[in-house]
Structure 1
Amino acid sequence: MDNLWKQTVLPFLSLFTSVGTLLCCALPALLVTLGLGAALAGFVSTVPWITAVSEYKVLVFAIAGVLLTLSLFLQWRARHAPCPADPKMARVCMRMRKVSWVILGVTVVIYLVGFFFAFLAADIFF
């Protein structure tokens, strides 16, 4: 796989699928839990396709989980890959690695929050 794909594209795909899980499943549950049903009604009337996506939340979370796991595996495997010998390019390489780890960290947090509210919060709070 191309290095650009492994270090940038796959983490961003993971980020966007995790945001998708947050929007489709976690945000509505969070709004209802906090007693903001009117805000949820406004959200659903503004973005009506969100209810169709929510019907497939298991599939959405499974795809996001697979992409996230693949991203983490590829990032972990490339952690000791050599950077270019040129000092300027080496700095860019190291910066991109750090940015990639930050993106993956944010993605994992978003995914876990979405998973909690989509699958666990109803059993805990209600």
Structure 2
Amino acid sequence: MAAEMHRLQATKRLNLLSLFTSGSTLICCALPAAMVAIGSVATLTSLISQFPQLIWISEHKPLVFSLAGAMLLVAGWLQWQARLLPCPADPALAALCKRTRQQSLWVYVFSVVLFVTGAFFAFVAPLLID
């Protein structure tokens, strides 16, 4: 029983990590494109001057997207494996187990949406503009 709870906790942690890596893809590509599209170039310039690390992320976007994609694949596999694990017999722990699974799934889906959005702005949108 403890092994199942440990696996669920590991899945939740990995899903949160995949959320952060997916968020970095959004920051590197979708955020600057959206700011330029709405005419907030001055805001983007001041943002980059405050956080120069954004330039590094944008320059290394294949690496950032590869790492984020790998994290999402591992998180998705763990999510798939955890769906069949039994929850504890105790009603309170069973409810917590089900709620954790549901929250973990939503975090994973949100991470995938962020990743796809960032990938569109990083790799597809520039092809459409040219």
TM-score by length of 1: 0.92
Equivalent position of 1:46 in the other structure: 50
Letter in 2 for 1:46: Q
1:34 shift after superposition: 3.1
Secondary structure at 2:83 match in 1:
coil
- Structure 1 letter corresponding to 2:10: W
* 1:26 has 2:60 as partner: no
Aligned-partner Cα distance in 2 for 1:5–1:110: 21
Cα contact 1:30–1:117 (8 A) shared by 2 = no
Structure 2: gaps spanning 5 or more residues: none
Amino acid at match of 2:107: I
Report matched runs for 1:73-92 at 5 Å.
Answer: 73-92=77-96
- 1:67-92 residue CA offsets vs partner (Å, 9 max, x unmatched): 00110111012111100010110000
Q: How far did 1:30 drift?
A: 2.2
CA distance in 2, matches of 1:39, 1:122: 21
Gaps of 5+ in 1: none
Percent identical: 43
CA RMSD of aligned residues (A): 1.4
TM superposition shift of 1:35 = 3.0
TM-score scaled by length of structure 2: 0.89
Tell me how far 1:124 sits from its aligned partner.
Answer: 1.4
1:71 alignment partner AA: A
- Runs (4+) of structure 1 exceeding 4 A deviation are none
Counterpart of 1:125 (choices 112, 125, 129) is 129
Correspondences of 1:35-114 after superposition (within 5 Å): 35-114=39-118
Aligned residues: 125
Which of residues 7, 10, 18 is equivalent to 1:5? 10
